[in-house]
Amino acid sequence: MSKDAFIVLGGGGHARVVIHCLQALGYRVSGYTAPRDLGVQRGIPYLGDDRGLRRGVEVTNISMALGIGKVTIQSPRLHLMDTLRAEGFHFPPIVSARAVVHDDVVLGAGSVVFDGAVVVTGTRMGLACIVNTSATVDHDCELGDDVHVAPGATLSGGVRVGKRSLIGTGARIIQGVSIACDCLVAAGATVVRDLDRPGTYMGTPARRVA
Ligand SMILES: CC(C)(COP(=O)(O)OP(=O)(O)OC[C@H]1O[C@@H](n2cnc3c(N)ncnc32)[C@H](O)[C@@H]1OP(=O)(O)O)[C@@H](O)C(=O)NCCC(=O)NCCS
């Protein structure tokens, strides 16, 4: 990752965490974009919405970071990233200086690993994934695009998570389980067998509730 400046897409709480990660890594953050001005965030100014961004920015001198969080299955983050990548913008993966990520882990464009998270050998993750604060992703896991492993959640070894799924805060997934695309695993749930259908799964052991 070059030490070029970043622009962060989004100005809420998730964006502030991304900005903090970048600042701690020594990157300059030129500004953030959002549908409306949320004021200066961690010393970073508002640049307008992303339409203004496309008119005003030289794509080769700037890196982009997704600062849009994900608390539901549907979210605009992957579509926005795809659109901007097609226009030439690049989204390097970002790993907090306080995370542990083994050297053979593969991170897709736009993916982030936050403070205290641990991602270990053999794991591969797609585009725009979030491994949030103090989450752990053990060996040989596979995460599809736009998967969010929320704070404190634990994926044991060899877990597969389909695109857009959200593993809620503090959820635990035992080894070798496959989770379909578009699943929401509730906060605190324990997944002990494959989740074959999209839906919301809750409890210990996790059962489909919607
Ligand atoms: C599972 C979840 C999607 C349910 O949300 P919801 O549909 O809005 O449900 P409600 O809050 O209306 O709660 C419905 C019932 O489920 C219970 N419930 C909600 N979340 C629960 C959970 N995680 N585990 C167990 N029970 C839960 C509620 O207490 C309520 O029970 P009641 O009817 O007996 O009062 C949500 O609570 C959740 O866990 N989301 C994940 C959040 C997360 O991890 N975000 C990460 C942010 S970084």
pLDDT, averaged across the chain: 94
Q: Is there an atom of ligand 1 within 6 Å of 187 CB?
A: yes
Task: Give yes or no for residue 71 CB within 6 A of ligand 1.
Answer: yes
Question: For 176-192, what is the mean pLDDT?
Answer: 98
Pocket test for ligand 1, best of 133, 202, 204, 207 (most atoms within 8 A of CB): 202
Report residue 10 as tokens: 């989004």
Rounded distance, CA 116 to CA 35, Å? 31
Please determine, for residue 2, whether its predicted confidence score (pLDDT) is greater than 60: no
Q: Domains in the chain, please, with CATH?
A: 5-92 (3.40.50.20), 95-198 (2.160.10.10)
For 88-123, how does the pLDDT look when each residue is reduced to its tens digit (9 = 90+)?
899 999 999 999 999 999 999 999 999 999 999 999
For the Cβ of 174 lying below 6 angstroms from any atom of ligand 1, the answer is no
**pLDDT-above-90 percentage for the chain:** 90
Q: How confident is the model at residue 198 (pLDDT cuts 50, 70, 90)?
A: very high
| Model pTM score | 0.96
The pLDDT of residue 51 is: 75
The per-residue pLDDT for 157 is 98
pLDDT at residue 116, rounded to an integer: 98
Residue 177: pLDDT band with limits 50, 70, 90: very high
The atom number, within ligand 1, closest to the CA of 167 reads 44
In this predicted structure, the answer to whether residue 3 has a pLDDT above a threshold of 60 is no
Q: Quick one: pLDDT at residue 56? A: 60
Contact of 171 with 188, CB cutoff 8 Å = yes
CA–centroid distance, 67 to ligand 1, in Å, is: 24
Whether 30 lines ligand 1, by a CB cut-off of 6 Å, is no
State pLDDT tens for residues 23-61: 999 999 999 999 999 999 999 999 998 776 766 666 667
